[in-house]
Structure 1
Amino acid sequence: MVVEDSVDCEDGGKEMVPYEVDSIIFNLLKTWIDERLKMAMDCIDRAKEMETWNPKSKTEPYTQSSVEMLKLAEEAVGDFFEIPIGISDDLVQELADGLDSLFQDYISLVSLCISKQSYIPTLPPQTRCNKDSKFLKLWRKASHCRVRIEESHKGGSADDHHPRPSTSRGTQHLNICLNTLHHILSELHSLDKSLSQCPCQNPLPHNRYSSSRKHLSASHSYFDLARSSIQEASQHVSEVAAFCLIFLDSNTAFYDSLYVGNVTNARIRPALRNLKQNLTFLAAIVTDRTQPLAVQEVMKASFEAFLMILLVEGSTRIFLKLDHEMILEDFESLKRVFCSYGEGLVTKEVVDSEAEIVEVVVELMGQPTDQLVEDFSIAACEASGMGMIGTGQKLAMPPTTERWNRADANTILRVLC
């Protein structure tokens, strides 16, 4: 205003330098944003040291630290728009970017758990064993004593009609982490809405082009990166929780017991009772929105355990050709648990798709030995780049990739063993 009024001065007002109001306001507000983001970052740092990964309450089944962090974020957004100064798109984006980065840090903390491989048993050496094996007879004597001791310490026997759920505290904590991720995801929508409803002015002149283009490209959501991180973290956490539940918590009822000794006397019914109890307990912990993913991963883990029982535990289990009908019947029962669980949590199409490879292996177990030998020779030759094996030629031992399938020489070889 002074410059405009000084046009009649001797120098036309050239000596008057305009005060950079926009720049000063931008820097002051940026400092304010940094201070509020630091408060939220301090909350995350405390979570790294003190968070117990227990639910805040029965009505809020997610972590205390996530509640505090989201509260600070909501207060920052609310207070930001209460500042009696015109807010630019640049500053809104500055605040949104800072919050997005904070959420990603917290999401990384929540998903910082071991991989599912940590729960999968080490594959033993491939062995050829039959029902008359001296090793098997010795193992059965030792196994009989071990099982009786284990039963005396369990809360209920394998045949108990009211087994207690075997979900460990570690699995429960992972499920709370899963709830927390989806809680953050649901709160991002309201934060996005608050930021989008800002009556922003034009971007500040000194940063007009770069910031305005960034804002326009992110106009549909300020938190795309956080959302993407949540999807990846949820998949990882639910997968680890499922493998922990099946291979650790349910180990005695499922992986260590099913078909041990012989198929006829070690069917799947006790394992299914245990699984149903654990699924019911899971539903009591995991929120409705997270249940489909959690249950689907439990299904995948249980199918993986079933496959490993058939293919890699030959030293403790003896399978006959006639067993494949009972095994297929047991697997159909396992599938029905997930098809009937909840109301469409896992669709029949998804169950059938995941079950396909197990059914292929069970089908192989019903084939005669000479057919398996022929199939193995063909698959091994194709894998090694050889033609049909001739006199004097030796096939190399096919590698164990754990990608079980009908055309995999190692899969066929394990069925033969």
Structure 2
Amino acid sequence: TWDPISPQQRHGGSIVEVYRIIEETADQFFAFKVPMRIGELNSFCRGIDKAFQIYTQLVTQPIVDKEDLVPPVPVLTRYKKELGIKAFVKKEIQEVRPVDERKSSEIVQLTMSKLCVRLNSLYYAISQLGKLEDSISERWAKRQSDKINIRRSMNGKSKSVVSNQKNQFDGSRKEINAAIDRVCEFTGKKMCMHSAVVLGS
């Protein structure tokens, strides 16, 4: 369900759960008592990046194309005596876009409040990425500094690598920003269509 956590926290509980799982996974990753190189860290970060992208796709999955918000043009009715335009009417009927009942149901279920929760969840996801990156970088730096008999050259290499972890979640940022734009556009068009229906009724 896409309900806000509280009046103060307008995002959904799903994104909080995603971050909780990722943090627990990070705890387990850094708790491994085995030697690790930067390759293992990069693989771990790629997995997190992919997880956020999958979550983002699930958030926007019910968002239909903007064309589906526009109702189909009604078929014109003709009197039987108008035999001369039968062929034209037949062709016209075939060209009318049929109503997709499943999509219509999805549009109805996507209420404004639920769309706002989805949007806030995406914003929460991207706003917390920086903190997650900092946490991973700091824990990796601490793990490297705790090694015994480490060479100075390795220390220098480790520091330079840690600073590059800021780019690990760029794929997620791009995906989430695109999703935010899509939800905003859909919400705006849905509001316009709703207003048009109200004014026309």
Matches of 2:191 and 2:113, distance apart in 1: 9
- The equivalent position to 1:225 in structure 2, one of 171, 184, 189, is 171
Equivalent residue letter for 2:26: V
**Contact in 2 for aligned 1:100/1:226 (Cα 8 Å):** yes
Equivalent residue letter for 1:178: L
SS of alignment partner, residue 246 of structure 1: helix
**Larger relative contact order (CA 8 Å, sep ≥ 6):** 2
The CA deviation at 1:231 is: 0.7
The CA deviation at 1:169 is: 6.0
The CA deviation at 1:120 is: 2.5
Equivalent residue letter for 2:117: I
- Confirm or deny that 1:237 pairs with 2:186: no
The CA deviation at 1:79 is: 3.5
SS of alignment partner, residue 128 of structure 2: helix
Gaps of 5+ in 2: 76-108, 145-157
Structure 2 length-normalised TM: 0.65
Equivalent residue letter for 1:54: D
Equivalent residue letter for 1:53: W
- The equivalent position to 2:14 in structure 1, one of 58, 65, 68, is 65
Matches of 1:174 and 1:111, distance apart in 2: 10
CA spacing shift, 1:116–1:196, aligned 2, 3 Å: same
CA spacing shift, 1:70–1:230, aligned 2, 3 Å: same
CA deviation string 1:85-132 (max 9, x = no partner)? 44321111111111111111110000111122222344689xxxxxxx
Which residue of 1 is the match for residue 112 of structure 2? Answer: 171
CA deviation string 1:366-404 (max 9, x = no partner)? xxxxxxxxxxxxxxxxxxxxxxxxxxxxxxxxxxxxxxx
CA spacing shift, 1:225–1:218, aligned 2, 3 Å: farther
State the percentage of identical aligned residues: 28
Matches of 2:20 and 2:116, distance apart in 1: 22
Matches of 2:135 and 2:114, distance apart in 1: 32
Which residue of 1 is the match for residue 27 of structure 2? Answer: 78
Matches of 2:35 and 2:130, distance apart in 1: 24
Matches of 1:84 and 1:53, distance apart in 2: 40
Gaps of 5+ in 1: 1-51, 126-167, 202-211, 258-417
- The equivalent position to 1:182 in structure 2, one of 123, 126, 130, is 123
- Confirm or deny that 1:118 pairs with 2:59: no
Equivalent residue letter for 1:175: C
SS of alignment partner, residue 220 of structure 1: helix
**Contact in 1 for aligned 2:53/2:171 (Cα 8 Å):** yes
Equivalent residue letter for 2:23: E
The CA deviation at 1:191 is: 1.1
Which residue of 2 is the match for residue 191 of structure 1? Answer: 132
Which residue of 2 is the match for residue 98 of structure 1? Answer: 47
- Pick the structure with greater CA Rg: 1
**Aligned counterparts, 1:185-334, within 5 A:** 185-197=126-138, 198-199=140-141, 201=144, 219-248=165-194, 250-254=195-199, 256=200
CA deviation string 1:160-214 (max 9, x = no partner)? xxxxxxxx8622211111101011101211111112221265xxxxxxxxxx9xx
CA deviation string 1:220-245 (max 9, x = no partner)? 32101000000111111111111111
Matches of 1:119 and 1:217, distance apart in 2: 46
**Contact in 2 for aligned 1:81/1:87 (Cα 8 Å):** no
SS of alignment partner, residue 31 of structure 2: coil
**Aligned counterparts, 1:16-35, within 5 A:** none
The CA deviation at 1:59 is: 2.5
CA RMSD in angstroms, aligned pairs only: 2.8
The CA deviation at 1:66 is: 1.4
Which residue of 1 is the match for residue 83 of structure 2? Answer: none
Which runs of at least 4 in structure 1 moved beyond 4 Å after TM superposition?
121-125, 215-218
SS of alignment partner, residue 81 of structure 1: helix
- Greater share of residues in helix: 2
Structure 1 length-normalised TM: 0.33
CA spacing shift, 1:71–1:216, aligned 2, 3 Å: closer
The CA deviation at 1:83 is: 3.4
Matches of 2:18 and 2:178, distance apart in 1: 20
